[in-house]
Structure 1
């Protein structure tokens, strides 16, 4: 493990500005290493290292897998890759998605907690849904320190709110004040009594989940021994989801490695419902067009009885289609209301 403190930071929507504020307040001689996960589309170029290098005194890079961890550096997760702390090296891996994301904040936080124990500080900034809450719980469970952006200061408060609900957080404050706090905490270092012993079962689960994020085969690593099968299937691969526990909170992971919190699973299922509603709507609209064409052919053939029957069928399908259209719009609006910040 690194012989210096490690800071792990997770953010999503609305996270670039608070990240800039945090790194701007770090001193040039910052004695720790900083790891950053920001959710971005998998195939979009990321300019975050340049943005963070310009914002503060520390150099920020997309690291290569296996490069040594050095103090005074910021390591940013490349698109579509998990960023992990692996001993005294940086891990850049293509393991299964967690909470619908790769890179995953939870995966980074767990790897740092597993590697560094009480020598890690976890930070959750602005973002939607709850990626980072489970990983921050693990940081706290291993004796590390936990910091969350004040939800009132966040453009999107879902990630900070989830972390505060999930974890007994040590500090919650505006992003502009987090950098100075980190500088002080890193210089002070962890207290000798900060390390918290974990049970053999907890250690085993953490070890397996870190290895899965690095690309390990979940089934071969013994995922089925860590939890009971749930009645739910994985939205990504349709495999069985196994129930895992962080304290009293339930999560899920499938035998190919995809992981979900309850909120992330509900979001994925809701998106699947919406997609299927649109597919059904498309089929019904195609059915209306087909029935109309058949009716036109019946009229041309002089079969007025059949034409009238087909026209009535068109009206029935159109009524059903209009009802389905309203249901689909309600489903879409409900998801938007869950994700977008309130205008109040």
Structure 2
């Protein structure tokens, strides 16, 4: 018999308060290492370890590359570095972003599943889109346990909802009760039986997150051609099916869930609309100026053509403004509801 000894936690929007509530309930004799990823801007300095240390009985500190995992400690991912579990240690990597994030929740969960199998408990807290779902699938595929914050308790319920509905998280708990629920799971004996081996996909994706040269230079890529392009590098995306979820990864390793890809495409479309609006307004201004000069020279046919070009550009620009305004009112950056929450 053995016991679980590694807790990995992922959060995004609204996650700071959820983390505070969860860690406040963790007892001093907590028999597991806790690793935390909160999605954050790459250029920012993170005050999260200090914030969490004020409410947690366990020591909370930023993760250091090569640091050994120790029970009763909380290590927090640092900006612009993936947090990876490997052979009882943590590694920090500037590997390709997943869902536009580095650090990324899925990278932590997947590497923990690969390294510790059934000894892992994965926890998904408040956040937008579906980050953490692919990682939750990986944890459960290796015999680990999944937990999620109760959706009614989360400021943003999309991440925990997807972790339950697609990721299969077995335990759904309010944030303030997660500490006690984790302590109960860690006190359970788990049978010493053979656990499913890490899949080739899990090995490859973890290696890519750590910028492993063999994985990055391999001719083959996981999945099948999807027909979509990567929003980050504009390379071809390959479709990966795992645990009933489809997701995408490009040749150099950028990874996207369906919700994250749709959101990124929406932002790209909005940017394209603004560029088109700028071009139309410039065309209208230039046509007006050229029409006035043609009029002054007595070239009435040319002046009429320039006026028509001016009016057509303004009409098209007005249409684009309506589309952009509708998108802003919907809070989506698009005039429809295709973007994930």
Same fold (TM over 0.5): yes
After superposing on structure 2, the runs of 4+ consecutive aligned residues of structure 1 that deviate more than 4 Å are: 336-341
What's the offset of the Cα at 1:295? 2.4
SS in 1 for 2:332: helix
What's the offset of the Cα at 1:124? 0.2
TM-score (norm 2): 0.92
Query: Structure 1 residues 339 and 73 mapped into 2: Cα distance closer, same or farther (>3 Å)?
Result: farther
1:240 maps to which residue? 236
2:42 maps to which residue? 42
2:138 maps to which residue? 138
SS in 1 for 2:177: helix
TM-score (norm 1): 0.91
Q: Does residue 203 of the first structure (1) align with residue 202 of the second (2)?
A: no
Q: Does residue 14 of the first structure (1) align with residue 14 of the second (2)?
A: yes
1:289 maps to which residue? 285
Query: Where does structure 2 lack aligned partners over 5 or more consecutive residues?
Result: none
Q: Where do 1:259-270 residues align within 5 Å?
A: 259-270=255-266
1:335 maps to which residue? 332
Query: Where does structure 1 lack aligned partners over 5 or more consecutive residues?
Result: none
Task: Say which of 225, 229, 235 aligns to 1:229.
Answer: 225
What's the offset of the Cα at 1:305? 4.3
Whether the aligned pair in 1 keeps the contact of 2:237 and 2:249 (CA below 8 Å) is yes
Query: Structure 1 residues 340 and 265 mapped into 2: Cα distance closer, same or farther (>3 Å)?
Result: closer
Per-residue CA deviation, residues 2-55 of structure 1 (Å, 9 max, x unaligned), is x97110000000000010001101111211110001111111111000000001
Per-residue CA deviation, residues 114-159 of structure 1 (Å, 9 max, x unaligned), is 0000001000000000010010111111111110001111110110
Whether the aligned pair in 2 keeps the contact of 1:252 and 1:260 (CA below 8 Å) is yes
What's the offset of the Cα at 1:106? 0.5
2:65 maps to which residue? 65
Q: What's the RMSD between the two structures over aligned residues?
A: 2.0
Whether the aligned pair in 2 keeps the contact of 1:62 and 1:76 (CA below 8 Å) is yes
2:317 maps to which residue? 321
Q: Where do 1:83-232 residues align within 5 Å?
A: 83-193=83-193, 196-198=195-197, 203-217=199-213, 218-221=215-218, 223-224=220-221, 226-232=222-228
Distance 1:95 1:285 in 2: 41
Per-residue CA deviation, residues 274-313 of structure 1 (Å, 9 max, x unaligned), is 1111111111111111112222323443444433332222
What's the offset of the Cα at 1:327? 2.2
Q: How many residues matched?
A: 334
Query: Structure 1 residues 272 and 339 mapped into 2: Cα distance closer, same or farther (>3 Å)?
Result: closer
Query: Structure 1 residues 84 and 219 mapped into 2: Cα distance closer, same or farther (>3 Å)?
Result: closer
SS in 1 for 2:277: helix
Whether the aligned pair in 2 keeps the contact of 1:141 and 1:196 (CA below 8 Å) is no
